[in-house]
Chains A and B, each alone.
Chain A
Amino acid sequence: MSQPPLLAIEDLSVEFRTRSGTVRALESVSFAIARGETLGVVGESGSGKSVTAYAVMRLLDPAARITSGRIVFGGLDMLAASEATLAEIRGRELSMIFQNPRAALNPIRRVGDQIADVLLRHATVGSAEAQRRAVALLAEVGIPDPARRARAYPFELSGGMCQRIGIAIALACRPALLIADEPTTGLDVTTQATIMDLVAELGRARGMAAMLITHDLGLATERCDRVVVMHAGHVVEDAPTRALFAAPRHPYTARLFAATPRPGLTLADLSTIPGTLPDLRRDDLPPCRFAARCDRRTEACDLPPLPRHAEAGRVVACRHPL
């Protein structure tokens, strides 16, 4: 691991200005993704998973303000990069697949043309060659009868097929990093499995790194080398997948896992997480945003700064880790 990481997020803080106050959506988020690595980002709604992804893509809403931090992707400072540079990188080096594949596609353009658009934009190919490659990509993502499907509109295809088109678009230019934001939510379990097989297989074949944003701990367990756990805009834990689930060190990770149904358990075995997420519009957010819900809390937890213990390839942001 002497090589610099492919993506490094350092001390990233993001705020949203809303009518009802400033939402501190991310605070001092730091993690990295190595080349070829699949990193899972897990957490419940409102934890900041998607905001992190959109910040990396530099696709944040205009109401968002990055108040501190750095995002370095392949040596490039993403926060200082010009819009033209970003447009070159997005879709070519860095691409994204979205939660709702049908909404992510242009409804009035044939799917083959939508794939060809990316190739025309980023690869030095003519339109005939782009069309030919689009059909080849459709075959690669497992769409039967690709030449005919290339002429289909998104509404003519199933949700699973639309997500395959999304993957074909994202992978058309062989990116170094794929960000997948809940890529299988809303798809049938059998389709979910084949879609994730496809991402894993294409990723391996191309040495592609991936950032998989999910609320599904099963998916993270099965597909990720390492997992970052987020809670209320903080990274609370960052560890290799096996180590994380074998022995979670942050009380929130442990609580999240204890609330997740899995085989061999009954309802009585699951425990709840007391309390709710803190209101991120508050001015007096405590250093540890989990403290109010935590049974290991002491007075020391209310004193800044939030400690970050780093050892043996894992990081835990807690005063009293397990």
Chain B
Amino acid sequence: MTLPALPPPVLEARGLSKRYPIGGRGLFARRPVPLLHAVDRVSLTVGAGETVGLVGESGCGKTTLTRLLARLIDPTEGMIRFGGEDIAAIPAARFATHPARASIQMVLQDADGSINPRFTAADAIAAPLRRLRRLSGAALKDGIARAAEACGLPPALLSRFPHQLSGGQKARVGIARAIAPLMETKGPKLLILDEPTSALDVSVQVVILALLAELKARLGMSYLFVSHDLNVVRLICDRVLVMYLGRIVEEGPAEAVFRAPAHPYTRALVDSVAVPGAPGDGPRLRLAGDPKSPIDPDPNVCRFHGRCPRGEALCGQAAPPAFAPGAGRRALCHKPLIDALGREAA
């Protein structure tokens, strides 16, 4: 068997949107129902073995996007190709029994709140194995043991309830539960991690990040890593997607994007992060105010217009074009901070 030079992406989304109607209107209402554009024409890929970071402020649509990609909710439009099959058209209710269900798993943010307090660690890991892999009896026990072992959970902890576990142990249960149904499957595997370490102390965070890196290699997974902590994203992600008001406004290799952002919003995010041990110098870009409303946004105005320190008249008259400030990079901006060769722009 020969290996192809470039393996196809594990996950590819094209023109993915999710719009929510706001407020109930009567059947004969004259005005159209206002729509909240939670995710707006998002295209992205996650390559085999890749860790892709997704960053942005709360309310920017990160969570809706991850729920779309995990097929927990139905997109309004767009395509999601996972392992060569378009899974966007399958209704979420039917996707629950689709074979790919076991291969796209999520690790939720708050291990405290997302594990049933009346479930032991073993129960928590067993639930997805029962539902998605139809395991029972000895096979179920075996599946639980393997997932727990992979996540460094000693068997003695499996009979404990969440309140009897430390923060790091709960994080391990959350990861074990997510990887349990995909451990034995063939084909592409995607783990969506929503702030997996935000509640942890740095000493525990390092251990969990190392565990995630090890599991990724061992099980052949790809990661979509959602986080507020740009220092962590920079540490572990190959590529990064920056989201603002439902749109991906910048994407590219993580180190390149963080070192020289092209979009003023990315610059403001990077400038907001305090670097441990190295006091910043020079002017920092700060954002005033809040993002615009995501309800019926004007398609001919940049979403960042009004909050953007570089904004000019044009930004309020036309949607920003896609611009490539370097290899593998893309930014939606009329006035990017760097030019096509990566030099500082005026």
Chain A residues in contact with chain B, CB under 8 A?
Answer: 44-45, 144, 158, 160, 188-194, 197, 215-223, 241-242, 245-246, 255-257, 259-263, 265-267, 270-273, 276
Tell me which residues across on chain A come within 8 A of B185, comparing CB atoms.
none
- In the complex the two chains form, what is the Cα distance from A242 to B278 in whole Å? 8
Q: List 14 A-B contacts (CB under 8 A).
A: A44-B203, A189-B230, A190-B272, A218-B273, A221-B277, A222-B280, A241-B279, A257-B276, A257-B277, A259-B202, A261-B202, A261-B231, A261-B232, A261-B234
- Determine, out of B30-38, B99-107, B141-149, B207-215, the stretch whose residues face the partner at the interface: B207-215
User: Contacts A259-B203, A262-B277, A273-B203; is A189 near B287 (CB within 8 Å)?
Assistant: no
The smallest C-beta distance from B149 to any residue of chain A, in angstroms, reads: 20
Contact (Cβ within 8 A) B202 A260: yes
User: Contacts A188-B58, A190-B269, A265-B235; is A215 near B277 (CB within 8 Å)?
Assistant: no
Contact (Cβ within 8 A) B286 A189: no
Does chain A have a CB within 8 A of B72?
Answer: no
**CB neighbors of A among B273-312 (8 A):** 273-280, 284, 286-290
Which of B206, B228, B271, B276: most chain A Cβ within 10 A? B276
**CB neighbors of A among B58-86 (8 A):** 58
**CB neighbors of A among B194-220 (8 A):** 201-203, 205-207, 209-210, 213
Contact (Cβ within 8 A) A256 B269: no
Enumerate the 3 nearest inter-chain pairs by beta-carbon distance, A residue then B residue, closest first.
A218-B274, A217-B276, A193-B272
- In the complex the two chains form, what is the Cα distance from A260 to B275 in whole Å? 10
Tell me which residues across on chain B come within 8 A of A215, comparing CB atoms.
201-202
Tell me which residues across on chain B come within 8 A of A263, comparing CB atoms.
231, 234, 258, 275
Contact (Cβ within 8 A) A262 B206: no
- In the complex the two chains form, what is the Cα distance from A260 to B234 in whole Å? 12
The smallest C-beta distance from A185 to any residue of chain B, in angstroms, reads: 9
The smallest C-beta distance from B209 to any residue of chain A, in angstroms, reads: 6
Tell me which residues across on chain B come within 8 A of A192, comparing CB atoms.
272
Does chain A have a CB within 8 A of B268?
Answer: yes
Tell me which residues across on chain B come within 8 A of A189, comparing CB atoms.
57, 228, 230, 269, 272-273
Tell me which residues across on chain A come within 8 A of B167, comparing CB atoms.
45
- Number of residues of chain B lying within 8 A (CB) of chain A: 40
Tell me which residues across on chain A come within 8 A of B57, comparing CB atoms.
188-191
Contact (Cβ within 8 A) A256 B203: yes
Does chain A have a CB within 8 A of B236?
Answer: yes
Contact (Cβ within 8 A) A219 B274: yes
Tell me which residues across on chain A come within 8 A of B201, comparing CB atoms.
44-45, 215
Tell me which residues across on chain A come within 8 A of B58, comparing CB atoms.
188
- In the complex the two chains form, what is the Cα distance from A242 to B281 in whole Å? 13
The smallest C-beta distance from A37 to any residue of chain B, in angstroms, reads: 16
- In the complex the two chains form, what is the Cα distance from A300 to B225 in whole Å? 46
User: Contacts A45-B201, A219-B274, A221-B276; is A267 near B230 (CB within 8 Å)?
Assistant: no
The smallest C-beta distance from A5 to any residue of chain B, in angstroms, reads: 24
- In the complex the two chains form, what is the Cα distance from A158 to B290 in whole Å? 9
Contact (Cβ within 8 A) A222 B272: no
- In the complex the two chains form, what is the Cα distance from A270 to B228 in whole Å? 20
- In the complex the two chains form, what is the Cα distance from A260 to B204 in whole Å? 10
Which of B166, B235, B268, B280: most chain A Cβ within 10 A? B235
- In the complex the two chains form, what is the Cα distance from A264 to B166 in whole Å? 30
- In the complex the two chains form, what is the Cα distance from A218 to B276 in whole Å? 4
User: Contacts A188-B58, A242-B279; is A256 near B274 (CB within 8 Å)?
Assistant: no
- In the complex the two chains form, what is the Cα distance from A197 to B285 in whole Å? 12
Tell me which residues across on chain A come within 8 A of B205, comparing CB atoms.
259, 261
Tell me which residues across on chain A come within 8 A of B231, comparing CB atoms.
218, 260-263
Which of B201, B269, B288: most chain A Cβ within 10 A? B201
Contact (Cβ within 8 A) A222 B289: no
Complex partner residue of A194 from B209, B232, B234, B286, CB under 8 angstroms: B286
Contact (Cβ within 8 A) A271 B286: no
Tell me which residues across on chain B come within 8 A of A44, comparing CB atoms.
201-203
Which of A219, A265, A272: most chain B Cβ within 10 A? A272
User: Contacts A188-B57, A256-B202; is A267 near B235 (CB within 8 Å)?
Assistant: yes
Starting from the known contacts A160-B290, A193-B274, A221-B277, 11 additional A-B residue pairs (CB-CB under 8 Å) come to A44-B201, A222-B275, A241-B279, A242-B279, A245-B276, A255-B203, A256-B203, A260-B202, A261-B232, A263-B234, A267-B206
The smallest C-beta distance from B223 to any residue of chain A, in angstroms, reads: 13
- In the complex the two chains form, what is the Cα distance from A321 to B55 in whole Å? 40
Complex partner residue of B275 from A144, A262, A271, CB under 8 angstroms: A262
The smallest C-beta distance from A107 to any residue of chain B, in angstroms, reads: 20
The smallest C-beta distance from A42 to any residue of chain B, in angstroms, reads: 10
Contact (Cβ within 8 A) A218 B275: yes
- In the complex the two chains form, what is the Cα distance from A159 to B288 in whole Å? 15
Contact (Cβ within 8 A) B269 A222: no
Contact (Cβ within 8 A) A267 B284: no
Complex interface bits, B88-131 against A, C-beta within 8 A gives 1, otherwise 0: 00000000000000000000000000000000000000000000
Tell me which residues across on chain B come within 8 A of A217, comparing CB atoms.
202, 276-277
Which of A216, A218, A220, A222: most chain B Cβ within 10 A? A218
The smallest C-beta distance from B302 to any residue of chain A, in angstroms, reads: 17
- Name which residue of chain A comes closest to B280, CB basis: A222
Tell me which residues across on chain A come within 8 A of B278, comparing CB atoms.
221, 245, 262
The smallest C-beta distance from A127 to any residue of chain B, in angstroms, reads: 31
